[in-house]
């Protein structure tokens, strides 16, 4: 069975919102940006929780996730030139596939903070969604030279290598990411994709089981495992 071309983009590179925005102080609490800092951290944490929980976005007949997204977007009024606020909004734009808007916000982010590994991950993910694997490979190689200890960069690089069918190189990057602290369940799932791609079905199934041990009930890994079982 041929793996879905875009399957690794589900996780590799750390799509979860908490991986992309650093919780830093943007100013003293007595300033508009200081208040925005606390608001951004709280809204982002709540959005994470809502997106993770089954039905967590819908509460009391309203869409909690949409309300939180609007809250993050409004922070640009108080802090239009803050890297963390720009990065947060770039990720929100990416999640709804507004790729041009996301790229524009990232350009602004990099103009303020040239070395920003979380933003580099998102820039590479945009390239991969657009199908520009060669650019993503060159860009990630450059970014890793600047931020070699950032695990999500390694995971995203593995995603690009996977799409380029450079299986051994992708596996090597995941091993580095694991040593740098990438979640074991996510690494296991990604290794399962590689095993599946090269025809090592039994190994792939074991990797997906390991992913489910670390993240019980995760429907993405469960789906791939069921598909492999059904193909026997």
Residues 192-217 have a mean pLDDT of 94
Domain boundaries, the chain: 11-18+44-149
Tell me the C-alpha distance between 138 and 161, whole Å: 11
| pLDDT reading at 17 higher than 60 | no
Residue 59: its H or E element: strand 58-59
pLDDT at 20: 46
Q: Give the up-direction half-sphere exposure of residue 11: CA atoms within 13 A in the CB hemisphere.
A: 19
Q: Does domain 11-18+44-149 have CATH number 2.40.160.40?
A: no
Asked whether the whole model's pTM tops 0.85, one would answer: no
| pLDDT reading at 34 higher than 80 | no
Which is higher by pLDDT, 48 or 112? 112
Within 10 A of 134 (CB to CB), how many other CB atoms are there? 11
Q: What is the tens place of the pLDDT at every residue in 135-189?
A: 999 999 999 999 999 999 999 999 999 999 999 999 999 999 999 999 999 999 9
Mean predicted lDDT score pLDDT of the chain: 81
Q: How confident is the model at residue 194 (pLDDT cuts 50, 70, 90)?
A: very high
Tell me the C-alpha distance between 155 and 113, whole Å: 22
């Amino acid at each position: 069975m041929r793996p879905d071309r875009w399957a690794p983009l589900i996780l590799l590179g750390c799509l979860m919102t908490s991986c992309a925005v650093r919780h830093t102080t943007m100013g003293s609490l007595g300033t508009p940006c200081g208040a925005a800092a606390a608001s951004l951290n709280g809204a982002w944490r709540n959005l994470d929780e809502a997106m993770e929980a089954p039905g967590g976005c819908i509460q009391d007949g309203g869409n909690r996730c949409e309300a939180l997204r609007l809250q993050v977007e409004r922070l640009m009024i108080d802090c239009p030139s803050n890297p963390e606020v720009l990065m947060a909004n770039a990720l929100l734009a990416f999640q709804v596939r507004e790729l041009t808007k996301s790229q524009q916000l990232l350009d602004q982010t990099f103009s303020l903070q040239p070395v920003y590994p979380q933003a580099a991950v998102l820039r590479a993910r945009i390239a991969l969604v657009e199908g520009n694997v060669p650019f993503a490979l060159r860009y990630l190689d450059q970014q890793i030279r600047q931020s070699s200890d950032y695990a999500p960069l390694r995971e995203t690089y593995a995603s690009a290598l996977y799409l380029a069918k450079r299986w051994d190189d992708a596996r090597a990057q995941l091993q580095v990411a694991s040593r740098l602290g990438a979640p074991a369940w996510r690494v296991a799932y990604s290794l399962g994709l590689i095993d599946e791609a090269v025809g090592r079905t039994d190994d792939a199934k074991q990797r997906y089981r390991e992913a489910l041990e670390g993240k019980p009930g995760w429907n993405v890994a469960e789906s791939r495992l069921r598909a492999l079982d059904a193909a026997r």
